[in-house]
Amino acid sequence: MDARRGGEAAGGGAGDVAGERGRLLNVAYRLLGSLVEAEDAVQEAYTRWYGLAPARRAAVVVPGAWLTTVTARICLAVLGSARARRERYVGTWLPEPLPGAPDGGPGAAPEDPAARIVRDESVAMAFLVVLEAMTPAERVAFVPHDVFRYPFADIADVLGRSTAACRRLASSGRRRIGAAGGTGPVPLAERAAIVRQVKEAWESRDIPALVGLLDPAAVMTADGGGLAGAALRPVEGAAAIARYMVALADRAPGLVLRLGEVNGLPGLVASRDGVVRTVAAFALRAGRVDRIWVIRTPEKLGPWAREAAAQGAARGTSRRAPRAARGHGVRAARGHPVRAARSIPRARSSRPLFPAFAPGRPLAPARSPPGLPHRHARCRGGRSGARGAVRNVRIGGARMFRWKMPELPPAGGTLRNLMTASRTSGRGR
């Protein structure tokens, strides 16, 4: 990642710099486990590049190496802060799943960042979950060297450590990978067959069949982020997982399962009304499902919504993506606590809130508690509508009631003038 290495071809043109975006996204996604954060890190690297003076940019022999170094440093800083954020995360944080690579058809979206990620064993969900257990320094030393074959001398420049220290960090990362108990490569056809059997057993609510497909020590981990229903703790044991899956199927009518590619391997995608709600990834051991990772956080399913929209466009139909998948609420995907969206819409009715406050009828006098003058009344805010403003008024902090203001308030519009006019009109009646 040395920006002045002479062994690489020099090129400082705008086209050469822009062509590095795909490789930078691949590095950042494997370092961060989040496509949203990877996009931000790459964009920040480009911002710093174009923020350099022209003379400094011209002095960089290999812009791609400079951008890689800066991107890795940004990822290192993000990983340091992400550990604290994810401690406050609701439930278990899982990496963001990736849909299958586009096939270049009419529905493909080459500009989609997810389309730039190379699907190989280094983006498998099992691999990314193990990376989450590494320290930020271990991850930055292990991924660039073992996955992208960068020399330790360049990684030492990123971490600010010696080459020997970077070798030890990468070695520690390899031990974590080995301790995770990988089972070696499994043919895709075998994986797809097992996942298909899980799908069929889930659809038929066949608990014995599910137990037979799961390893006795299987573990299912779900990520809802506090925005979607999910188990807050891992579900352990084949029988417990099977019962949980059947109960979930009973409580989610209309959910449609289909086989799909999840991070380069066969998985399951659940949708309702054409909108992707859940993505599940699987790890196998000895012909049985050993690990299940379920992602339900809406912000992490953005690429899947774009994939569904692209497929709908190819078929001549389209469906609007959910709000979270359209780029709203990115804070939750980054581990920030967010407030759940309003689930019950406000009721709209043509009738007034209270019959006594019907339009065209004068306001009833505002009465204070005994011994409390009107000057203690204060407005508590409200909302406006076609029939005027509705206000909540608190009298001396003792009680609250709602009233309707006339369409043409008295001159000045103050609360005291309004209450005086209401009292006068009430006495006149």
User: pLDDT tens digits, residue range 280-318?
Assistant: 999 999 889 999 999 999 989 988 876 655 555 555 544
What is the reported pLDDT for 306?
A: 67
Residue 199 has pLDDT above 70, yes or no: yes
Higher pLDDT, 417 or 289: 289
**Residue 13 phi, psi dihedral angles, 5° rounding:** -70, 160
Residue 364 has pLDDT above 70, yes or no: no
How do residues 386-395 score in pLDDT, each as one tens digit? Answer: 344 434 444 3
Worst-scoring range by mean pLDDT, 43-57, 78-92, 136-150, 200-214?
A: 78-92
Q: How is residue 372 written in tokens?
A: 């409390």
Residue 376 has pLDDT above 80, yes or no: no
Mean pLDDT of 84-99: 85
What is the reported pLDDT for 9?
A: 37
Mean pLDDT of 47-72: 94
Worst-scoring range by mean pLDDT, 110-124, 154-168, 368-382?
A: 368-382
Residue 207 has pLDDT above 70, yes or no: yes
What is the reported pLDDT for 307?
A: 64
d(CA 158, CA 70): 8
The pTM of this model reads 0.68
SS3 for the chain, per residue? CCCCCCCCCCCCCHHHHHCCHHHHHHHHHHHHCCHHHHHHHHHHHHHHHHHCCHHHHHHCCCHHHHHHHHHHHHHHHHHHHHHHHHHCCCCCCCCCCCCCCCCCCCCCCCCCHHHHCCCCHHHCHHHHHHHHCCCHHHHHHHHHHHHCCCCHHHHHHHHCCCHHHHHHHHHHHHHHHHHCCCCCCCCHHHHHHHHHHHHHHHHCCCHHHHHHHEEEEEEEEEECCCCCCCCCCCEECHHHHHHHHHHHHHHCCCCEEEEEEECCEEEEEEEECCEEEEEEEEEEECCEEEEEEEECCHHHHHHHHHHHHHHHHHHCCCCCCCHHHHCCCHHHHCCCCCCCCCCCCCCCCCCCCCHHHCCCCCCCCCCCCCCCCHHHEEEEEEEEECCEEEEEEEECCCEEEEEECCCCCCCCCCHHHHHHHHHHHHHHC
What is the reported pLDDT for 11?
A: 43
Higher pLDDT, 255 or 320: 255
Specify which residues 283 forms β-bridges with: 291
Q: How is residue 426 written in tokens?
A: 């009430």
What is the reported pLDDT for 90?
A: 85
**Closest Cα partner for 262 from 146, 134, 126, 139?**
126
Mean pLDDT of 184-194: 87
pLDDT-derived band at 86, boundaries 50, 70, 90: confident
What is the reported pLDDT for 118?
A: 78
Residue 418 has pLDDT above 50, yes or no: no
Residue 420 has pLDDT above 80, yes or no: no
Worst-scoring range by mean pLDDT, 71-85, 256-270, 290-304, 331-345?
A: 331-345
Query: What mean pLDDT value characterizes the chain?
Result: 74
Q: Name the percent of the chain lying above pLDDT 90.
A: 45
d(CA 52, CA 182): 45
Q: How is residue 188 written in tokens?
A: 């895709």
